[in-house]
Amino acid sequence: MSLVQNAYIDASNVYESSLENNYKKDNGIFYTDLLLAEKILCELKQPKDAIVMDPCCGSGVFLYVAKKHGFVNLYGVDHDKNAINFCLNNINNVSFTACDSISKTGTELLSELELSVHPDVVIGNPPYVPLAGDVELKCDYLFKRRVSDSGNNLFVAALMRAFEIVKTDGIVSYIIPKNFLHVTGYSLLRRMLLEEKTIVSIVDIGAYFKNVRGEQIVLTVKNSVADKKHNIKLKKLSSNRFVTMCSIPQSFYKDEILIFNCNEDFSTYKKLTSSYQSLSDLCNGYVGRGKSVSDTAIVGKEIRKFGYKNHVVPKKGNTVFIQNIYSAEAGVIAAFGGDMEAAQTVTVFTDGDEKMCRYILGILHSRLCNLFLYKYCYNYSKLTMHTDAKYLKKIPLPSTKQQEAYFDSILSLVSRLESNDYMSQEWFDCLEELNQIVYAAYGITKKESEYIDCEVKRIQSKRWISDGRL
């Protein structure tokens, strides 16, 4: 590392630490470190004469890296005059301007920078801040409306503006929240990207930034309609490298963009979603949050797998209670609720048939179901998620024919799990038997089940694995 680079890093650290935490939080300011910026830039493989712009440049790390790698046409913008002054004092031969790049149209911004052509690359880490209260866009009504309809967050507005700024066929590469890939509020923007742009790659970088709630991805998009045969490269940050996991046809995605860890993940997902009914199809009752405010209502922490800490499992009724907090290490934690009441910390589903409730309860605790939730609903989130209705309703259940063949066996095992001592060897033996029957009910092959077993073993706590085995 050169003395010049060391000097820039030191100065950047001093500048960032001088900013108050509340100011950074309120404005979504979390600066990217040099190593990550370098990886993102190098991934783009652009010629050195490419015009590169960071419209939310902060301390200018992306432009510093670009200059270091020989790029000569560099432009940085930030609404914070102090940040721009820092850049001017610490990065030479780069054009910096202080203005609100998100509120300005692409044309207005290019005029501000005296650029007669659109940049080849727009890169950066825009702020993640909900547009509410004191945080607002100072722009025309129609753009505000588009942003509001597409997620109402500053990073949404920044991403929309980036496509106004960059040239046709140019590249936009932004660090954005990972939940953009599946949260309902961002559906319109996702569909626009899938239908009107070419998603080059998605890199899962996990919870990369300290003090930032949630996880992040690096989204790289080409500003043109995708070829029908185009594949999106799915990657992850591993051992300080961007590692390719698999490539998925962009045409496969219609709204939610799931991250698949390998080709086996993709094939398993297609198998489970192509020929099975969902929980929403089978369950004819309520699926949602508990509503009781009674002091005697069941709360999430009272529930354990197939039972309760301080309550006897009811014999009759038509409800299942699920801990609202979902952790991949523990998986689903649910029990038959009978006719008891549940508080807000519990997710509830009901069915007119007590046996059907217990049947679904058994499937919910299977490794297959837990892997489906973790991978295909929560998109490999390493942070705590919730067993909300929108996720539960997606769970695939065996077809009617398969259901008939294995229904009674699953019911019998659920009954034994309810009556055996919690987490005893007998309990674990029953759970293992349940897993094998569920595999059979879904037509999962031995090779497929071995892969699922391996994945669950990797993510679940040893507490849930008897004697170190699955």
pLDDT in tens, 257-312: 999 989 988 988 998 888 788 888 777 788 899 999 999 999 999 999 999 999 99
For the whole prediction, is pTM greater than 0.75?
A: yes
Do residue 326 and residue 422 come from a single domain? yes
Residue 290's CATH number: 3.90.220
pLDDT one-digit tens code per residue, 94-135: 999 999 999 999 999 999 999 999 999 999 999 988 887 677
What is the CA angle 72-73-76, rounded to 5?
115
The pLDDT score that the predictor gives to residue 466 is 59
The verdict on 79 and 149 lying in the same domain is yes
Report pLDDT for 470: 41
Residue 129 belongs to a domain: yes
The residue range of the domain holding 412 is: 277-468
Domain boundary, last residue among 227, 259, 291: 259
> Based on the domain organization, do 344 and 197 belong to the same domain?
no
Number of domains observed in the structure of the chain: 2
Q: Is residue 271 in a domain?
A: no
Same domain, 221 and 360: no
Average pLDDT, the chain: 90
> Between residues 152 and 468, which one has the greater pLDDT?
152
Of 259, 288, 319, which residue constitutes the final position of a domain? 259
Please check whether residue 267 lies inside any domain of the structure: no
pLDDT in tens, 321-352: 999 998 888 899 999 999 999 999 999 999 87
Same domain, 44 and 10: yes
Q: Are residues 385 and 309 in the same domain?
A: yes
Looking at the domain assignment, is residue 268 inside a domain? Answer: no
Does 173 share its domain with 211? yes
Residues 298 and 223 in one domain: no
